[in-house]
Structure 1
């Protein structure tokens, strides 16, 4: 079957051409101004595509009239226009179907597929009508031959008087309508016709009165059980050969109820999908086998995949793993959990997933999942904790620094007052006390960095000072499990809040040491290197080597990654089995 795409000069035919070629290999694209009556020869379906421009639309209107003036009635015409007014004008010209464009591509595909089926059915109907015409001509000479043909057909054949009274109806009415033929003989054609379809039937009869040799209509007839059956009816007149007056009407009606219901279900499914796509949160549905059967646009965007790539795939393979590992796939009724996922742009997103188990049939269950992005909420909570830690560290440092200053000063005074009279043990005790007090002072100084905010915009940080402070705060924990070495170079200032970067670095150091076993510190090593990285970036590299405890240094890093990524940085992790874990904190240089 051939298809013709007639496009106005200002309309882009490529998207529609692609959709047409998905269903028909033989597609011709013709500019509207170049369309001639011969162009539609052998064409099953013609698609008219217009832009909003009125002059542009005029060319499409002319093309529509050209197609409709074809001697054989022309192809099935689908009008695609940009405004409702243009659609209304084309409908007045007798197009078979219409849609606003641009529009939903899946709906266009469905509509084009339906029209192709109608064209194919029209050809079958034309052949059937021709065959019926031959049969009826023979039947006019032999009523017995006509009845034999009618009674062996699965379609309803009927004869009507010019006034619409049934003179004959074939036995197929038992299957389609539930009536015995005798129950319908002598009744009016309008008796069981759906009220909304009366105008369609009268229009078809009017065409026959005007001289048409055949007329068709899709109508609904009420079955004996009260339900309505959809019928595609073709009517032919039997005329008096001398006066050309219609003596009888012969109709062939095919039951298309199943096809109509299938089309309605398809449209309803598309409408349901549109509703699901309107939900802003990621939504998915899994079947009993764990395959995703429904996914809205937000869910596909979260994964960075198209709907076709998601549907039918294993949910375990596509969906992010929740914190604490993957629990039982089926909750008892409903549950809520947190998951972390890497977005297509590389950022880490924290989502709250609510799952509900539905029993749709006796042995069939569906798992409905809705995710809500709570990254900003978790960030606000982290900010609140950071503010609390900052206030606490500043308060503790202040409260300790005052008495510590007295302690250091008094130790110095006592040492100087005793002078050379103090014994060796007393001198050693005073030196140790002074050294310990100064160490406490350094720790208090480094604690203040946890609450330090940059006074500049954008914020900037002395990363060397942050690294030294983080090492001072964690060296006791590290040296209990591993040897600690560091190389801290002089590097430019980096972008970011000192407190956030310090917390991220302390988190990395603690996670690195927790991944190493307790016992012999000489068996493990933690090495920290601060140096320039790629152009415009500074890198803090933390390498922990030793036999792993099985605890992942990556688990729970999302908050630190969020603290770093908000300043344009990143955290990279590389694990080599049997050798250790390397974590790299990379930050951009200011300016």
Structure 2
């Protein structure tokens, strides 16, 4: 047996002192514990005060097991996901109670020291406070769960290869795939070629320069996949630690299938309401329309009777020019009656939304013709101040004329309680600043300030008949065309209804 000299002992003491100095100066908490279930503190370096708030003297002899969070106390026994084993050492991440009462996150690497017979003698641990790291990781995990559960489409795209390196569940589902069956997507695969080469490239370029891009770009859906989706936002992420170059893009989209269906349903309902409103208008005008049709019919009857009398008088050649003239007049009156019926049928016909280019001046004249009998019955004089430039409007002609009809009928009815003998209704059109302005003005009694506030609310009307839906439907029609409808009145000297519609090209 080799004899230990005093010099060897001195070297051992110096080496032990160096290790103790290292332990005492370490920012990590180094501790020794009993190899029992109570995990009693036998020794600990001064870092314990910075980490747990206890002094060395306070914690020695304390049962370390009692300071574990109840949910983490048996991590090592259960071999939970937070425990890792390598080369005889366990690394465990857990919550541990601070002297102040709150819990912090510790990451501890421990080794069990055994005697020659393999019996555990003590446990040596090196622990560090990883609260900030753990909280950041948990925040990231929470964010990842939110991203994964989001109904929005969220994708990460490599800046150089254009490969989509991540898609959340909604993105996979919308693109007709499943996350379990991994499919590699590239950005150009989810757009039509023309859209990718123009809109998408512009969006990426804008995001690279300014950080983000907002807009709307339609996605290309798989065949027989009855969904509609679009990209709404692109975010460029840069490498801030190196060259500040764009590393990847976050692309955020949305499945708008239900929205589109709701919009289409709303549009169908609006068309139905507009159609019902036209039917009601014609119903209210039925007496006047019948009288207007009766006039050409009565004229036709008179011309026919006169022609028959001349024919009964014999084949006098002198009567032939008169009979021929009567035939021309009959034809003219028949055409007049047919035009009235045609205009009425066109007005009440149920149609889809159809944008066509038409003259707004001609529509104003046509609608006034439709109201000819009603205007005559109420002693109304129509005045026209139409834009000489003959502006063309790209819109649904039937719906615009429906609005005109409703406003002109309101102007006629504005004189119902008036004693005026001269009752003008002035129709004005004007092209200005990219809009066509159309107005109908009367010189009746006007509308009060309170009346103006509720004028366009549905089911509110001052008429003894009617549902009070005409102006509400008219406002909806104009707003659908991107325009605005309003009324102006001083409450005494008349009212001006006015709407503007943007001039657009097909």
- TM-score, structure 1 as length reference: 0.38
Determine which structure has greater relative contact order: mean sequence separation of CA pairs < 8 Å that are 6+ residues apart, divided by chain length: 2
- TM-score, structure 2 as length reference: 0.43
